[in-house]
Copies of this chain bind each other. A is one copy, B any other.
Amino acid sequence: MSENNFNLQKIADLLDGKINGDEKQEVKSLLPLDLAGKEDISFFYNKKFIDKLKTTKAKAVILEKEFEDLFHSNSIVVKDAHIAYAKLTQIFKDQIKKVGVNPSAVVESKNIDPSSYIGPNVIIEEGAVVGKNVKILGGVFVGSETKIEDDTLIYPNVSLYSKTKIGKKCIIHSNSVLGSDGLGFANKDDKWEKIEHLGIVNIKDEVEIGAGCTIDKSSTGETLINSGVKLDNQVHIAHNCVIGENSIIGAKTAIAGTTIVGKRCKIGGGCGIIDNIEICDDVTVTPMSFVTKSISSEGMYSGGSMLMEHKNWLKYSAKLNREIKK
């Protein structure tokens, strides 16, 4: 957590909140109600923890108006305490303040904005473009003609193939890969003739990509991740897919080639979505589901299996086995 203290007035200004108590008080860390001590600020947005609100030792708490009487020390009253909590975490986050090119980086491109940070052992091939206030941490590979726009943050050991486009204010976590070839082959006499992928990956603004993700380039044109999309870790997006604005996808979900996911979808973790289908806007798919056909009505869909005691699973499997042989 940050080494700097923050006074409540400053925090209230940033959260657009109203202070009950002493606005000159300073807080050191942001912690949950039960862990916060006398130097800390905490947050209350989940009614489940109302008892913790009453007993917390925090110096200050952010909360909504209807709860302000429940906490008698300093409080900052906000309109939406969950959103205010998110903004508060951003205040307390350690910022990477480094600027400039580490001497160990191998930079062939001349298009690096001087406000950006290029960390140790980063490789930036010819023709790549790095915008303003970009942070590229150690060991990242930026292929030729790749373009990274302003305020984007790329964590260590990410691999960006040539001609990848990354928008503004994106975050890409470590060891993710953007621009690898899709699985495309033509079968000839039981051997596989490679179909080269001539397209690119295009990531729009404010996209966050978790650690260990893979996004394949398209065969022609682009694999498109629209603005505001958030991917958890180890997600796989195949060639030619389009993911709609502000959709969120859980860890380890895989989406096969040329599938289109709409806007504001929430896809749980561990799902598999087949190729060449279309999922409309505002669809929720619960975790571990297998999506085998297009979805054209918004709503919630499921398919994950049920957990049972192993002895029951054996009985159930045996019964199913008899049934399918009828």
Contacts and interface: CB of A to CB of B under 8 A. Distances in A.
Interface of A: 1, 29-32, 35, 80, 82-83, 85-87, 89-90, 92-94, 102, 104, 106, 119-121, 123, 137-139, 141, 143, 155-157, 159, 161-162, 171, 173-177, 180-181, 183-186, 188, 190-198, 208, 210-214, 216, 219-221, 228, 230, 232-234, 236, 238, 246, 248, 250-252, 254, 256, 264, 269-270, 272, 274, 284-293, 299-317, 320-321, 323-325
Nearest to A293: B307
A198 B93 contact: yes
A137 B311 CA distance: 46
Nearest to A181: B173
A86 B193 contact: yes
A92 B196 contact: yes
B293 A301 contact: no
Given A139-B123, A233-B236, A246 B192 contact: yes
Contacts of A302: 307-310, 313-314
Query: 8 tightest CB-CB pairs across the interface, nearest first?
Result: A159-B174, A302-B313, A141-B156, A89-B196, A300-B310, A270-B272, A106-B120, A180-B211
A174 to B, nearest CB: 4
12 contacts: A29-B198, A89-B194, A89-B198, A181-B208, A183-B210, A212-B234, A233-B236, A252-B254, A270-B290, A300-B310, A313-B324, A316-B323
Contacts of A314: 302
A315 to B, nearest CB: 7
Given A185-B248, A212-B236, 5 more contacts: A80-B188, A82-B186, A183-B251, A190-B246, A312-B324
A214 B236 CA distance: 14
Contact of A254 (B159, B214, B234, B272): B234
A310 to B, nearest CB: 4
A252 B272 CA distance: 9
Contacts of A123: 119-121, 138-139, 156
B315 A188 contact: no
Contact of A188 (B83, B138, B212): B83
A174 B212 CA distance: 11
B190 A264 contact: yes
Contact of A195 (B85, B106, B177, B186): B85
